Amino acid sequence: MNVWADKTVLVTGHTGFKGAWLCTWLLARGAKVHGLAMVPDTVPALFDQLGLATRMGHALGDIRDADVVAQRVAAIAPDVIFHLAAQPIVRRSYRDPVETWGTNVMGTVHVLESVRHTQTPCAIVVVTTDKVYANREWEHAYRETDRLGGHDPYSASKAATELVVDSYRRSFFADGPVRLATGRAGNVIGGGDWAEDRIMPDMVRALAEGRPVAVRNPAAVRPWQHVLDPLSGYMLLAEKLMNSDDPVWQGPFNFGPEAADQRGVASLVTQAIRHWPGHWIDASSPGAVHEAGRLALTIDKARNLLGWAPRWSFDRAVAETVGWYRAVAEGAFPRSLTEQQIADYEDAV
């Protein structure tokens, strides 16, 4: 049964990398998809490559503007909100912490306030990050019950976002028609991410230009996963929220890879250049801003409660990602590639 057919869905941050993939998938499922986001800040941008502006309810606006958010939510009256809009870059958060805090924390407040005032039945999935945990650089994979924290402004602002969500759930949505959860995803890769200071797009740009890939933190361990894995988790979580008022669904959920697929950056780059030949160099610097050395998630809660598990292994995720970029560089149509990967993912067992 396709629960998304004719559902009205609002995706904030729909012009971003994950937002564009999510909107494409929801459209394929028959949803009435609307968006609220800023103009894409990369050239190219996956949103433009997929032609989404003419295929969905596209609106530009800054979620730091409470009136803009309230008007958009009231006009759409969504059945489901996926709140993805954020300032998502760690190094950028050091350069502009005020923008980061304003977007990630107050932007979320504005979304939840707009729903609080309408009080129409709505399922909300707020997307945060694996970086919400107080990172102790240990071998232990973080559970949803572990302490929140954050060294850099990005991580700290996302941890604060989790507190905002928990407060709204307890204070305003506990007994009403609004159901609210958060999704904490690992490090996402996939075709069409053109952002600054992310290893995959940085690597693709270097490979396309015949340059060596400069790797800032080759020893850093991350929970790598293809973008479709966490998106499938967000959608499954939203389905549970739509269909049940059981509070077991209204909380945080980790969406990450299997334990064996939590690899070092050097492993990611080495695997990628098997699909697009090149070489990499160690560009680490002792004077660089702090970035976590090790980060891992446990996905037991999502597996046991939601019945969710990642479908694509580390090797498959890298192969699909690099294959997308290389095919586009050679003239393939991004929309066709994206829709085919979604179909392949849905067929995976």
Q: Please state the rounded mean pLDDT for residues 240-261.
A: 94
pLDDT tens-digit readout, 167-193 = 999 999 988 899 999 999 988 999 999
294-308 pLDDT per residue, tens: 788 999 999 999 999
Higher pLDDT, residue 242 or 290? 242
pLDDT-derived band at 291, boundaries 50, 70, 90: low
Is pLDDT of 286 > 80? no
* Residue percentage of the chain with pLDDT more than 90: 82
Whether the pLDDT of residue 285 is over 70: the answer is no
Closest-CA residue to 211 (of 277, 265, 272, 288): 277
pLDDT in tens, 12-58: 999 999 999 999 999 999 999 999 999 998 999 999 999 999 999 99
Write down the pLDDT at residue 290: 47
pLDDT at 86 over 90: yes
Token pair in block for residue 225: 């996963």
Contact 222, 185 (CB under 8 A): no
The amino acid present at 342, given as its one-letter code, is: I
**Which phi and psi (to 5°) does residue 195 adopt?**
-70, 160
Centroid of chain to Cα 203: 20
| Token couple for 155 | 């991580």
Average pLDDT over residues 64-70: 98
Cα separation of 119 and 178, whole Å?
7
DSSP structure class, residue 247: G
310 pLDDT more than 50? yes
Answer for the pair 36, 14: CB distance below 8 angstroms, yes or no: yes
Place of tokens 């707009």: 114
pLDDT of residue 212 exceeding 50: yes
pTM of structure:
0.95
Model pLDDT, residue 51: 98
Tens digits of residue pLDDT in 251-274: 999 999 998 898 989 999 999 999
Averaged pLDDT score across all residues of the chain: 93
Helices 107-118 and 66-76, axial angle in degrees (round to 10)? 40
pLDDT, tens digit, 9 for 90 and up, residues 98-135:
999 999 999 999 999 999 998 789 999 999 999 999 98
For helices 107-118 and 153-171, the axis angle rounded to 10 degrees is: 20
Query: Can you give the pLDDT at residue 175?
Result: 83
The whole-number average pLDDT for the span 332-337 is: 98
